[in-house]
Amino acid sequence: MVELKTERQIDEMRAAGRVVARALAAVREAAHVGVSLRELDEVARDVLRAAGADSPFLGYRPSFAPTPFPGVICASVNDAIVHGVPDGYRLRDGDLVSVDCGAKLAGWVGDAAVSFTVGRERAEDRRLIRTAEAALAAGIEQARPGNRIGDIAHAVGTVCRAAGYGVPDGFGGHGVGRSMHEDPGVPNEGPAGRGMRLRAGMVLAIEPMVIGGGGDDYVTAGDGWTLRTTDGSRAAHAEHTVAVTTTGPRVLTAA
């Protein structure tokens, strides 16, 4: 069931989204060679704590997961696509890091992700990250009343495929509200003009993931959480929580 949000509720969700934006900015600022993923998680925890926000990630345990999630961010490095556990791994020069973070404030959730490199950036990583960001922007542009979920999926997938990248099957965006994962699902690929009709008051997380090697395959790592590319190529992820409004898409997790 899709719960439509009032304008006032969307304003409240924007407050949660701002906390996510601040946490991601702080993590990015702190991400230098030698810093551990656990330390980045601490940086995000500090931002959430200072804002009086809870983490929808911490302790989260979907059916596939062997353990409750131990952090407030997912930190996915290089061939990790999403759901990376913030462990003791220390960042190395040239690493590509995708960080996903959520915040719950006054009962409302925000969910967003960014990808960036640490130290010297390889041109192919830059292109990969820029493509994920461009796919996200294309998806957001379609988040308008009267369009359909498929219009977002098609826009996202078209950008990813045109760049020659893989799109991991079965992962994508979702509705956001009082819970992190609500209806409807928002695929990262598919035909335009299909699926649920978008209405003002819908709030969606749109989150393209791209695999540099061009294949769509992934494998779950031994920790039961991290999704990795099977070919060892790098992956990037970008995400915003977006409200569908009569005046157009409103990005709730923007800075």
Q: Nearer Cβ to Mg ion, position 95 or 111?
A: 111
Q: Is there a contact between 113 and 119 (Cβ–Cβ < 8 Å)?
A: no
Could you tell me whether strands 172-175 and 182-187 are parallel, antiparallel, or unpaired per DSSP bridges? antiparallel
Q: Is 103 one of the binding residues for Mg ion (CB under 5 A)?
A: no
What distances in angstroms separate CA 5 from CA 8, 71, 115, 144, one per listed residue? 8, 28, 29, 15
**Complex with Mg ion: residue 130 or 181, whichever CB lies closer:** 181
Q: Which of the stretches 14-22, 98-106, 117-125, 186-194 binds Mg ion when contact is defined by CB under 5 A?
A: 98-106
Q: Where are the beta strands (DSSP E) in the chain?
A: 73-77, 80-82, 96-105, 108-117, 172-175, 182-187, 203-206, 209-211, 218-220, 227-229, 235-237, 240-245, 248-251
54 binds Mg ion (CB under 5 A): no
From candidates 79, 95, 100, 125, binder to Mg ion by CB under 5 A: 100
Segment contacting Mg ion by CB under 5 A, of 28-36, 51-59, 109-117, 163-171 = 109-117
Q: Does 155 bind Mg ion (CB under 5 A)?
A: no
In one-letter notation, the amino acid at residue 21 is: A
* Cβ distance to Mg ion smaller for residue 100 or 189: 100
Residue 111 in the binding site for Mg ion (CB under 5 A): yes
Contacts with Mg ion: how many residues (CB under 5 A)? Answer: 5
What is the binding site for Mg ion (CB under 5 A)?
Answer: 100, 111, 113, 205, 239
